[in-house]
A and B are shown apart, each in its own frame.
Chain A
Amino acid sequence: MLLLLKVLRRMLGLSSKDKKLRQKPHFSWCTKGESTLSHSLRDNMAFLQKSFQGCSDIVFREFGIGNGRGPKGAVIFFEGLVDKKIINDNVLKPLMYLTSLDGKMPDRVDAALIRQLNISVAEVREVKYRDEVIDAVLDGKAAVLIDRSTMALVLSIPGWERRKVEEPTSEKVIRGPREGFTETLSVNVALIRRRIKDTRLKIKTLSLGTRSKTRVALFYMEDVIKKEILEEIEKRLSTVDFDMVEEVGTIEEFIEDNPYSPFPQVMITERPDKVVSNIAEGRACIMIDCSPFAMVMPITLASLYQSPEDYYERPLYGTAVRILRFAAFFIATSLPALYVAMVSFHHELIPSRLVLTLARGRVEVPFPAFLEALLMELTIEFIREASTRLPGVLSQTVGVVGGLVLGTAAVQANLVSPAMVIVVSLTAITTFTVPIYSLSYPIRIIRFPLMFLAASFGLFGLAFGWNIILIHLCTLESFGIPYLSPYAPLKIRDMKDAILRFPLWAMKKRPKVPHAQDETRLGNLKGDHKRD
């Protein structure tokens, strides 16, 4: 009864209870613990050994400084994460043979002195707390502890295996840079930094995931991005309180606007040039360690349909290709539904000679058009899923077997009509024209409800389905930016770079969405040689 009342109140809109956003504090890169390091190396070691108990990959290397004349010291690191050669040559050797110029030991050996004189590693940090030492070691750094010193040194000597910068596999271009992101954040940061040599490109790092403590970097152009958008992104990032952050997708789920929408509300890409051009337009980008994918936000549907190549080739081709992609979007989502609607409800729409051909093909097919379409579409989805999971060589074979053999055999067995095979292969091909892979999922999924609606209500069903899709797209926003901009709401200036791709010299200002602070993009010269 009480529940019923509650539901009624909610539905009447009387309840004033608002979902309060859980506010979590920012996770700093290192958690500051309470306990500081003690004077005694033995105490510190005991504590660390207890903390790392059961971690068989940890290395504790104790040594005497200056041939045993100085205090004792220890290096702690995880095997495989740290470059052992550098530890040997640049840390252990100088410390163990430590002497001053006159051959005597310095009076007092502590962390600060060693940092200045003896360790030839570029990135060294002094830390005070035990937790900081643990965090640093977990992050793949080496820690140096010295007896009678309350400071420890944290050395950054990455030695783990990393993949080389290769051509991105999910977004290939014919013309354009062939570099793709890798799994190492520092490499990715360098890839972006190399493309924007400007101090106003800011990179904020933080760590997310209570267990994974994944390093996350937020990129933006300080003077271009709209302040409110940046604040919103930071606010949402601070609410991610999950234990494991393995991929940007994990963060995406926590910070996107509408988690139930089939449409992606951030752009996932592995191309540095794409990220860079988006950052320059006033968007922000999030990258995490251990993932080659960058997440760009806020985005619009139109921006998901842009490929970097559109800008590298001549404007005319850029425009033509974009129109082609938009047409492909509609074919991929609606062609099977349209076929079902036409064949089962509206024969009169099809020109009479074509309708005869279609009918001849369907004479011996025992299924209604909807079932026929559903069967074929499902088969295609199975083949696609199988070829993604299979090893490289096999996947091609499955593609050929599935596509050609199955299609032909199905027609010969009179299970489907030849026209249906054409429709299905056309939809399958057009699905692949999307430049962003995550956008191909909604297209593949939308197809099925549309087919069902078309089978139930013909063209009216199709219109009903598309009405819902369009209304849904109108409600979508990505970090406060309307998803369908520049079409709805209408932004005339941004139309220069939506379906059409104007020449770069004609786009003097940045697009209105996402509300860049600094709108000027083109300098004073504006390619004036054209007027001479």
Chain B
Amino acid sequence: MTEGTTKKENILSNVDLFVMLARVGLGAVSTGGVYVQVAQKAGRDGWISFILALGIIFFAIFIIVNLNKRFCGYTIIEYGEFILGKWGGKVLGSLLVLYFLLQTAAIVRFTSEMVITWMLNNTPHYMIMALIVFLAVYIARNGLLVVSRFCILVSMLVLALPILTFFPIKDWKLHNILPVGDSGFTGITSGVFWALFAYVGYEILLMLYPYVQDKRKVLRTSLLAFLYVGVLYTLFMAAIILLFGPSELIFFLYPVLNYLKAIDVPFVERVDTFILFITLFSAVANIGVVYTLTCLGVGQLFGIKRRKNIAIWLSPLVFAVAAFPKNSAVLNELYKFFPILNLTFGIFIPFILLVISVILKRSKEEMP
């Protein structure tokens, strides 16, 4: 696969795009604490927050696609220089790459936290993280095409997860979720902020867009992908609330796993551990996508032709960032800044760039 600085092979089909977006959207966070944060704010109406947040994500996708449409065939790191000038573009590119790197590290850390909590209580943290980073390097070295294939495989693996959600249906209590709108408008809207965090990953479209074959369908595909993600999140949230109720829910660290614990299968005592086993694959896919884009971004930023080894060189940095928070408490403190970063890079910056490029009438045709 050759990836010159400007010329790109249109290697991804719309199916690939859908799967990658859905994979990253669902992400490792899908089992994590997002539900707790949302439930703390929005109570039993948390699921409505997820629906509302989806609207904002749709808006963000709309902006990103329209921005990229003006510079077809270039990534944000390349056309950023054209919109903001050489140095402005470089700064923007560096920040974006750093953000992606941070996101990679964050997922690595979350995944290893999850493994430590649920599977291997006595294994050193750095060991798990090192293994996950190793996987990230292995997958990122091979480029986008391999990542997209891996995402498809993983998506097939986790296809059963939504069905499993209905298994404890006999324990659902309707009074946990009724009356709808109990938390009021302010409660629901303050939940939206955290619900947005669940959808982190839509911003990879900024980098992925130039690699898609059929550009006309990108908007539709992306919206569909996040509609799918949104439906799943809403379903999970509603199911968790139905089973535990909002007051019990906020004491969990990984509500989805706790939820799955309620499932009783004759030959497996604990379904949740098996789900975690499968979740590890989707986490690796998620890390793979973001880390590959980080490496692509670094390559484009510094004009490096041979990109295979960037993944190796960046890996100590990823590991260091992932290992930075001393413990889960520190991690949870830092984690609160992430939605703000996400909003900045996913919505705010693309919006500003779109406005500037419209006002200054900058588009691909005028690019040098």
Interface of A toward B, CB cutoff 8 Å: 10-16, 345-346, 348-352, 457-460, 462-464, 466-468, 470-471, 474-475, 482, 484, 487-490
Q: Is the CB of A471 within 8 A of B139?
A: yes
Q: Is the CB of B307 within 8 A of A351?
A: no
Q: Is the CB of A470 within 8 A of B274?
A: no
CB A239 to nearest CB in B, in angstroms, measures 22
Contacts A/B (CB < 8 Å), 10 sampled: A12-B313, A15-B306, A346-B119, A349-B268, A349-B273, A464-B135, A471-B139, A475-B142, A487-B152, A489-B15
Known: A460-B119, A471-B146. A352 touches B269 (CB 8 A): yes
Q: Please, which residues of chain A bring their CB within 8 A of the CB of B15?
A: 489-490
Q: Is the CB of A489 within 8 A of B273?
A: no
Q: Please, which residues of chain B bring their CB within 8 A of the CB of A346?
A: 119, 273
Q: Which of B122-138 contact A (CB under 8 A)?
A: 123, 127-128, 131, 135, 138
Say whether B312 faces chain A, with CB atoms less than 8 Å apart: yes
Q: Please, which residues of chain A bring their CB within 8 A of the CB of B146?
A: 471, 474-475
Contact with A along B305-348 (1 / 0, CB 8 A): 11111101100000000000000000000000000000000000
Q: Is the CB of B153 within 8 A of A463?
A: no
Option from B119, B135, B276, B309 in Cβ contact (under 8 Å) with A12: B309
Q: Please, which residues of chain A bring their CB within 8 A of the CB of B128?
A: 457, 460
Q: Please, which residues of chain A bring their CB within 8 A of the CB of B19?
A: 490
Q: Is the CB of A489 within 8 A of B138?
A: no
Q: Is the CB of B313 within 8 A of A351?
A: no
Measured CB to CB, the nearest residue on chain A to B312 is A11
Q: Is the CB of B149 within 8 A of A467?
A: no
Option from B119, B139, B150, B269 in Cβ contact (under 8 Å) with A459: B119
Q: Is the CB of B281 within 8 A of A488?
A: no
Q: How large is the interface on B (under 10, 10 to 19, 20 to 34, 35 or more residues)?
A: 35 or more
Measured CB to CB, the nearest residue on chain A to B16 is A489
User: A16 CA to B2 CA in the complex, in Å?
Assistant: 13
Say whether B270 faces chain A, with CB atoms less than 8 Å apart: yes
Most buried by A among B115, B128, B153: B153
Q: Is the CB of B269 within 8 A of A488?
A: no
Q: Is the CB of A474 within 8 A of B153?
A: yes
Q: Please, which residues of chain A bring their CB within 8 A of the CB of B139?
A: 471
Say whether B237 faces chain A, with CB atoms less than 8 Å apart: no
18 more A-B contacts (CB under 8 A) besides A13-B308, A352-B269, A482-B149? Answer: A14-B304, A16-B305, A348-B269, A349-B274, A351-B269, A457-B120, A457-B123, A458-B119, A459-B119, A467-B280, A471-B142, A471-B150, A471-B288, A474-B142, A474-B149, A474-B150, A487-B152, A488-B150
Option from B119, B280, B281, B288 in Cβ contact (under 8 Å) with A345: B119
Option from A460, A471, A487 in Cβ contact (under 8 Å) with B156: A487
Say whether B251 faces chain A, with CB atoms less than 8 Å apart: no
Known: A471-B139, A474-B142. A460 touches B280 (CB 8 A): yes
Option from B135, B284, B305 in Cβ contact (under 8 Å) with A13: B305
Most buried by B among A14, A345, A349, A487: A349
Most buried by A among B123, B131, B288, B309: B131
User: A414 CA to B274 CA in the complex, in Å?
Assistant: 31
User: A62 CA to B305 CA in the complex, in Å?
Assistant: 69
Known: A346-B119, A351-B266, A489-B15. A467 touches B309 (CB 8 A): no
CB A526 to nearest CB in B, in angstroms, measures 28
Q: Please, which residues of chain B bring their CB within 8 A of the CB of A457?
A: 120, 123, 127-128, 131
Measured CB to CB, the nearest residue on chain B to A351 is B269
Q: Is the CB of B277 within 8 A of A487?
A: no
Q: Is the CB of A351 within 8 A of B149?
A: no
User: A464 CA to B132 CA in the complex, in Å?
Assistant: 8
Known: A352-B269, A467-B284, A482-B149. A13 touches B309 (CB 8 A): yes
Known: A13-B306, A458-B119, A463-B280. A470 touches B269 (CB 8 A): no
Grouping DSSP codes into helix (H, G, I), strand (E, B) and loop, the A interface class, with mixed when no group exceeds half, is helix
Q: Please, which residues of chain B bring their CB within 8 A of the CB of A14?
A: 304, 306
User: A51 CA to B180 CA in the complex, in Å?
Assistant: 98
Contact with A along B253-286 (1 / 0, CB 8 A): 0000000000000111110011011001100100
Say whether B221 faces chain A, with CB atoms less than 8 Å apart: no
Measured CB to CB, the nearest residue on chain A to B13 is A489
User: A12 CA to B298 CA in the complex, in Å?
Assistant: 12
Q: Is the CB of B269 within 8 A of A349?
A: yes
Say whether B294 faces chain A, with CB atoms less than 8 Å apart: no
Say whether B148 faces chain A, with CB atoms less than 8 Å apart: yes
Q: Please, which residues of chain A bring their CB within 8 A of the CB of B269?
A: 348-352
Q: Please, which residues of chain A bring their CB within 8 A of the CB of B150?
A: 470-471, 474, 488
Q: Is the CB of A470 within 8 A of B281?
A: yes
Q: Which of B141-163 contact A (CB under 8 A)?
A: 142, 146, 148-154, 156
User: A487 CA to B268 CA in the complex, in Å?
Assistant: 28
Known: A13-B305, A457-B120. A468 touches B138 (CB 8 A): yes
Considering the complex of A and B, which 10 residue pairs feature the smallest CB-CB distances, nearest first?
A13-B306, A488-B149, A488-B152, A474-B149, A463-B280, A13-B309, A474-B146, A474-B150, A475-B142, A488-B153
User: A12 CA to B16 CA in the complex, in Å?
Assistant: 30
CB A529 to nearest CB in B, in angstroms, measures 36
User: A474 CA to B142 CA in the complex, in Å?
Assistant: 9
Q: Is the CB of B280 within 8 A of A489?
A: no
User: A488 CA to B15 CA in the complex, in Å?
Assistant: 10
CB A426 to nearest CB in B, in angstroms, measures 15
Measured CB to CB, the nearest residue on chain A to B307 is A13
Q: Is the CB of B152 within 8 A of A471?
A: no
User: A380 CA to B51 CA in the complex, in Å?
Assistant: 56
Q: Which of B218-233 contact A (CB under 8 A)?
A: none
CB B240 to nearest CB in A, in angstroms, measures 22
Q: Is the CB of B277 within 8 A of A471?
A: no
CB A338 to nearest CB in B, in angstroms, measures 10
Q: Please, which residues of chain A bring their CB within 8 A of the CB of B277?
A: 459, 462-463
Q: Please, which residues of chain B bring their CB within 8 A of the CB of A13?
A: 304-310
User: A489 CA to B308 CA in the complex, in Å?
Assistant: 21
Known: A464-B131, A468-B135, A471-B146. A490 touches B152 (CB 8 A): yes
Known: A346-B119, A346-B273, A467-B280. A484 touches B149 (CB 8 A): yes
Measured CB to CB, the nearest residue on chain A to B151 is A488
Q: Please, which residues of chain A bring their CB within 8 A of the CB of B306?
A: 13-16
CB B61 to nearest CB in A, in angstroms, measures 22
User: A470 CA to B288 CA in the complex, in Å?
Assistant: 13
Q: Is the CB of B305 within 8 A of A471?
A: no
Measured CB to CB, the nearest residue on chain A to B147 is A474
Q: Please, which residues of chain B bring their CB within 8 A of the CB of A490?
A: 15, 19, 152
Contact with A along B1-31 (1 / 0, CB 8 A): 0000000000001011001000000000000
User: A349 CA to B273 CA in the complex, in Å?
Assistant: 7
CB A98 to nearest CB in B, in angstroms, measures 68
Contact with A along B285-304 (1 / 0, CB 8 A): 00010000000000000001
Most buried by B among A345, A457, A463: A463
CB A475 to nearest CB in B, in angstroms, measures 5
Q: Is the CB of A489 within 8 A of B268?
A: no
Q: Please, which residues of chain B bring their CB within 8 A of the CB of A475?
A: 142, 146
CB A422 to nearest CB in B, in angstroms, measures 15
User: A524 CA to B27 CA in the complex, in Å?
Assistant: 48
User: A471 CA to B284 CA in the complex, in Å?
Assistant: 10
Known: A13-B310, A471-B142, A474-B150. A460 touches B120 (CB 8 A): yes
Q: Please, which residues of chain B bring their CB within 8 A of the CB of A345?
A: 119-120
User: A198 CA to B142 CA in the complex, in Å?
Assistant: 42
Q: Please, which residues of chain A bring their CB within 8 A of the CB of B308?
A: 13
Measured CB to CB, the nearest residue on chain A to B284 is A467
Q: Please, which residues of chain A bring their CB within 8 A of the CB of B119?
A: 345-346, 458-460
Q: Please, which residues of chain B bring their CB within 8 A of the CB of A463?
A: 277, 280-281
Q: Is the CB of A466 within 8 A of B270?
A: no
